[in-house]
Chains A and B, each alone.
Chain A
Amino acid sequence: MRTVETMNFMITGVGGQGTILASDILAAVGVEAGYDVKKSDILGLAVRGGSVLGHVRWGEQVHSPIIPQGRVDYLLAFEILEGMRRLSQIRPGGTVILNEQEIHPASVTSGPATYPEPDAVQKALSAATPSAFRIRALEIAQDLGSTKVVNVVVLGALSSFLPVGTESWEKVLEERVPSRFTELNLKAFHSGRRLTKERA
């Protein structure tokens, strides 16, 4: 049997950004591509505008649904502050896709905390990995006509790096989203994919 290195994906953002659907889709694509897959999401309290975190793992045989410390291969950050919060989990040489959206927590709007400055964000990203991509998924989604597809734009940007054909992604998207939104989601996926295709 061929040995497949387990691929570890961490998905983070703010409750309400569609991160859970993103991890559902990513897990389903892994199954479609023939991997053993485990996925873990935090639901409930945290979903109310809190910091959310999902783990998806593809491999030959995956035991733990949680990624061991410091071994994230792909970090999908839907929001800058949350991306920074999980950045130290990326392995050296791992890939970071950072959606440049700011959602200010109460500790910033009505408390003493500050939101990370762009320079500090860039410095941390550069130190973490040479393979960091800053994308503006919200703008792309708005141009396509729905802010709800931010998650699929991010997945599209990720897809360039994975050994899985676009047909698997398209099939899963068609299965997972209501049919009237299929075309929108496919457009969002390919828009995201174009952002990274040449650099992957």
Chain B
Amino acid sequence: MKVLMSGNEAIARGAYEYGVQVATGYPGTPSSEILENVARYEEIYTEWSTNEKVAMDAAIGAAYAGKRSMVGMKSVGMNVAADSFFYAVYTGVRAGLVIVVADDPGMFSSQNEQDNRQYARFAKMPVLEPADSQESKDFIGAALELSEEWDTPVILRTVMRISHSASPVALRERDAKDGRATAPFERDPHRLVCTCVWAKHQHPVIEERLKRLSGFANTYELNRLEWGDRRLGVVAGGAAYNYAREVFPEASFLKLGMSYPLPYELIRELADGVDELLVVEELDPFLEEQIKAQGIDCRGKDIFPAYGELTPAVIEKHAAEAGLLPQEQVKGARELPLPELAGRSPIFCPGCPHRSTFYVLGNKMKETIVTGGIGCYNLGALPPFDATDTMGAMGASIGVAHGLDIAEIPDPSVAVIGDSSFFHAGIPPLLNIVHNGGNSTVVILDNRTTAMTGHQDHPGVAETLTGKPGKEIDVEEVVRACGVTDVHKVDAFDIELIEETYRDALAYDGPSVVIVEGPCYFVGPGAQGTYDVDLETCIACGTCFKLGCPAIKLSKEVNEKTGRAKAEIDPVLCVGCDMCAQVCPVEAIHPVESEE
């Protein structure tokens, strides 16, 4: 029986079928649905860990204890986890350990476009790349076997278009034999204690292992020569394989399931058997550089970009320019008499508790420099708020604000961070400010969830991923325990009070924290009725539009003096948060009386 599954669902199914017993991770698009789906299999212990490094260490520990383990994260999560997976390559594992990372070529929801195949080479472990949902499932089994056979963690690298694409998958039952029974911990400090004295003996072993793995790759079933037309040979794996197949349906292919270490004999065989060898890979010239280093001639990034997705459209265009395809085969988008099209950036949802903060910072406190971080709240950088000045990584807002402070900028500044980010990476920089006598103001937007990635739990939430009760860590207690004494709490839905509190915190001589409390609409109590605009009273001043609420749209009625459109509220979208009524200077916005 075949079932339609996304790549992420299939990875989770793979964990189930191939006897994974422990799965950890931290949410991040496009990886979040992996663990959410693993959590549906009660045979597997599953948790959202506080951050990717914590998740990685926990999975390593479980693998040391003899349990098949999996850790899941998005592209940039690997940077957080890296500190830990490097040592695991040295210590080895006692049961399969697979690191699932979902990269984001095209940067649909990431701050950079890093190619995590590089970490395989950097940390010296194999990486597998599935090309569809069936492979996403099967390769989990393959990764666990490789991991156990070669005593190393193995990366399974997917990309957004594999993780969030669906295709049919053939299912099998869980093989309980694949999992390992619980046993007392077996001590072996010479392997598991990575002190330089012992670990340096392991490095030559790792180098030797990589050489043998490269030899093994030539016969590995995941790497497959597909002979076709001998004029063109293509080396490709993962998503790029599908795109290249679409564009060059007749060509010969080396379809790589394992992208590191590489099967050089197979690559030579393809190169020798075709007129021209082409490497089609998204992002870095990872395969190409290694192939060229072996003295094998090929083309790749001289034709295709090293950024963005290599969609069929991109491959077609560049291949045609390079003379690999007839120009007439490239269709392209059509020329149509289209009107000028307004852009549509993502925006805070109706009822979002973050709206008030960025309305205040972007309109009432424009002089304030705002450092931001990762989460829905980085939408505060976009119109109509244009409030956020810096944004780079989880937890970075607090450290960067401290940097501005010690650089003695004359401007007021606040660091903004979400609750999940605060637990993930915000506590060490807050401790740093307090310990070093800094004077920053930190705003923690406590919306009771990890919102952007789909409402996952974090240490401040009372329920864990598997629905069990979790100890709810109080943000204020943590802040006070970090040594902050000027701590404020304010209701996210009271705009005036928010402004007043931010000004008070900025005026305080010493570190301040403002905790803005208001649940994400999707985890809160739901709609509180709807509002509408009294068009007689509305003066079309545009103040409510500055809230950037999707429910507030242009009315067909205009102010006859200014010619500007009045406001209208879409009853389908409005959830009654009251913010527009608070900012309206002429009190034209009111709750709609309930008919009941």
Binding site for B on A (CB under 8 A): 14-16, 24, 27-28, 31, 36-51, 62-66, 68-71, 81-82, 84-85, 87-90, 92, 102-111, 113-117, 120-121, 123-124, 127-128, 138, 147
Contact = CB atoms under 8 A, between A and B. Distances in A.
B347 interface: yes
Contacts of B348: 48-49
B313 A81 contact: no
Contacts of A69: 312-313, 316, 330-333
Given A37-B4, A111-B384, A147-B572, A70 B453 contact: no
Given A45-B109, A121-B339, 13 more contacts: A14-B550, A27-B4, A27-B166, A36-B168, A37-B4, A39-B166, A40-B166, A65-B165, A104-B553, A106-B382, A106-B384, A109-B552, A111-B384
Please give me the 10 A-B residue pairs with the lowest Cβ-Cβ distance, nearest first: A44-B29, A50-B346, A113-B342, A120-B339, A44-B109, A65-B165, A45-B109, A105-B344, A110-B384, A110-B545
Contact of B331 (A70, A102, A104): A70
B167 interface: yes
Contacts of A45: 29, 108-109, 346, 452
B337 interface: yes
B546 to A, nearest CB: 6
A117 B346 contact: no
A contacts with B: majority SS: mixed
A14 B550 CA distance: 10
Nearest to A141: B572
B334 interface: yes
Contacts, number: 197
A38 B166 contact: yes
A27 to B, nearest CB: 6
B334 A128 contact: yes
A140 to B, nearest CB: 14
Contacts of B330: 69
9 contacts: A38-B165, A39-B166, A44-B29, A48-B379, A66-B312, A109-B545, A110-B384, A120-B339, A127-B336
B384 A65 contact: no
Contacts of A49: 344, 346-349, 550
A50 B167 CA distance: 25
B205 interface: no
Contact of B342 (A27, A39, A81): A81
Interface string B427-456: 000000000000000000000000011100
Given A37-B4, A107-B383, A120-B339, A44 B166 contact: no
A14 B332 CA distance: 24
B30 interface: yes
A138 B572 contact: yes
A66 B2 contact: no
Query: Residue among A41, A65, A89, A107 with the most chain B CB within 10 A?
Result: A65
A62 B133 CA distance: 13
Nearest to A116: B339
A68 B384 CA distance: 34
B168 A48 contact: no
A48 B383 contact: no
B346 A66 contact: no
A48 B346 contact: yes
A85 B573 CA distance: 22
Given A42-B164, A82-B344, A109 B339 contact: no
Contacts of A51: 344
Query: Residue among B165, B242, B548 with the most chain A CB within 10 A?
Result: B165
Contact of B347 (A37, A38, A48, A128): A48
Contacts of B379: 48
Contact of B246 (A64, A105, A108, A121): A64
B246 A68 contact: yes
Contact of B337 (A15, A24, A28, A123): A123
Contacts of B4: 27-28, 31, 37, 39
A68 B330 CA distance: 9
B376 interface: yes
Given A69-B333, A84-B339, A47 B346 contact: yes
A111 B344 CA distance: 11
A111 B382 CA distance: 12
B312 A107 contact: no
Given A39-B167, A89-B333, A68 B349 contact: no
